[in-house]
Chain A
Amino acid sequence: MSINVRALREFWCSVGFAERNFMLVKRYAGWEAVFLTYTIVSALTIGLIGVATGDQRLVLYLVIGAVLWGYLSILFHEVSECIAWERWEGTLEYTFMAPVKRFTQLMGNALYAITYGLVRAGVQLLVCALFFGISLAGGNFLTAAVVLVVSSLPFLGMGLACAVLPLLSRERGSQATHIFQALILLVSGVYYDVTVLPSWLQPLSVVSPATYTLRAMRAAVLDGVGLADVTTELWILVVSGVVLIPAGFACFVLGERWAKKTGKLKIEG
């Protein structure tokens, strides 16, 4: 098979994973409506804290945190849970036996997570803007878009690394993923500046990619800064993406090897 044909086939497969996930979303439409409503209401209640202080800038500060965290956590969650989900459905062995590269499988799930996350974050932002009468006129949306794209990379990498956890432990894998996600929420300054964190927690905020994403996004939307003013944050995000995606994939491959040695892929029988 020529390289082009092989690449086309792998792309075709990755689209298959994304398509399958969207078909599942359609089937679980009721739950999707519940999750969307919950995240919108959650963002609104957080924004109302800003309204109570009478500070319109704080409202936007909090809404950016809520919407961006919504997007990043979907990205992380969908990639990290793709294995747990297949284990729950009972299709894990079928997928792992198919002639598809593991990278293709994970990238197909990432493709879905990005598309799905953007749609959900877009709806959340729209509702918040209407609810609070927020004007986004002063924002620099080119910078915001670049930050969004670049910040997706390290989150995909972390998701890939965590996706292996349900392979290592059927019961505790997903739980560990949620704890990791909660820790990022705590240390990254989603709703506050990281300087308010206790000093012993601050080093963790330095290593969390979400810290730089939020800082750059707020600078773009609140202060309308250009790309040149967030170069440091963008570089940190690019480098962490370049490191975390291969590292996350390597973790997954090692975990898969171990699962095959110990028989952890099996559900029963």
Chain B
Amino acid sequence: MNDKRVTNDDLKGGPAMESAGTLDRVNLDRELELLAADGFYDGKRALRVEGLTKRFPQPEGKRRGFWRRRPRFAALAGVTFAVEKNEIFGLIGMNGSGKSTLIRILSTLLAPDEGEVEVFGVDVTRNPARVRELINRVAVDAAFFKVLSGSENLRYASRLYGLWPQEARGRYNGLLRRIGFEPKRLKDQVKSLSRGERQKVAVVRAFMSTPALLLLDEPTTGLDPRSKREVQRLIRDMRAEAGTTVLLTTHDMEEAERLCDRIGILHEGRLITVGTPAELERRAGGPGEAATMEDVFLKFTGAEWLADENGG
């Protein structure tokens, strides 16, 4: 088992844990150099989202005529923001606010209706294959072949990401130890692992490929407090060791504050505000009042704030 447990102080910027599982910074840097040489990457900006809009048919909506489309709603409405290289950028918002839609667009799984999205200068619509070489994602529900063992799933993933089995095994065993997962458990079928254990394997599967942009869609959901801290620690280590940029969505306000350099609040498909956790807390609190991230969330996603915003 992992002999060094993670403390809150460690997470707030203590020295990086000694590397048992290696994160491949060399390959990542080389990839970015190639992108710069090809005229895509400007050396600073990891992600640029400009006027991003995505509409879906309303689930309850009915057509008003045979040739008419069902009424649509905007899951994302003109979202604009940018993330610098090596930044951990958080997105928080209520359920259905558009966070997962945004992550799916960045993952090239969904085509935007309007707007532009660039990952290290590469447009996700025009050049999705190149974007896929730069990203990896942990979804809220870990996707595995559940009758296969953890190691069989990781072996399959290593093939998809062009890693040799020997190299991949070394990486994932080391990474698993770092988050307190005994590699022996990898022999078990995924269906026999707990939700938390599956989530840990999913996190390691994404980290194993050392992506330039890591998309984390509620990665610690279902983890116990200790495991949560260990995964959070690994995310910070990944940024420090490999130079990875992270886009994180979460409902855990403490996690958002602890991990993110900046946080954006998404509400009903619109990006309402962006700032560092301290800035947001200042904005949410009244004069001489100390606000928490939870207060920030409630203020910016509450009816009261929206009424003010609409001049009501």
Contact = CB atoms under 8 A, between A and B. Distances in A.
Interface of A: 9, 12-13, 15-16, 19-20, 23-24, 27-28, 89-91, 93-101, 257, 260-263, 265-266, 268-269
Q: Interface majority SS on A: helix, strand, loop or mixed?
A: helix
Contacts of B155: 19
B140 interface: yes
Given A97-B109, A97-B135, A265-B109, A23 B148 contact: yes
A135 B99 CA distance: 66
B156 A20 contact: yes
B100 interface: yes
Contacts of A12: 159, 162
B53 interface: no
Contacts of B189: 27
B147 interface: yes
Given A260-B111, A263-B56, A93 B143 contact: yes
Given A27-B147, A90-B141, A99-B132, A261 B161 contact: no
Contacts of B141: 90, 268-269
Interface in B119-178: 129, 132-133, 135-137, 139-141, 143-148, 152, 155-157, 159-162
Contact of A89 (B110, B137, B146): B146
Contacts of A262: 56
B283 interface: no
B48 interface: no
Interface of B: 56, 100, 104, 107-111, 129, 132-133, 135-137, 139-141, 143-148, 152, 155-157, 159-162, 189
The 10 closest A-B pairs by CB, nearest first: A16-B159, A98-B160, A27-B147, A99-B132, A94-B143, A99-B133, A260-B111, A91-B143, A20-B156, A261-B111
Given A91-B143, A91-B145, A93-B139, A16 B111 contact: no
A116 to B, nearest CB: 17
Given A20-B145, A266-B104, 5 more contacts: A23-B156, A24-B145, A24-B147, A91-B145, A269-B140
A99 B109 contact: no
The CB with the most chain B CB atoms within 10 A, among A27, A90, A98, A265, is that of A98
Contacts of A261: 111
B210 to A, nearest CB: 13
B161 A98 contact: yes
Contacts of B111: 257, 260-261
Contacts of B148: 20, 23-24, 27
B160 A263 contact: no
Contacts of A15: 159
A269 B100 contact: yes
A20 B147 CA distance: 11
A24 B147 CA distance: 7
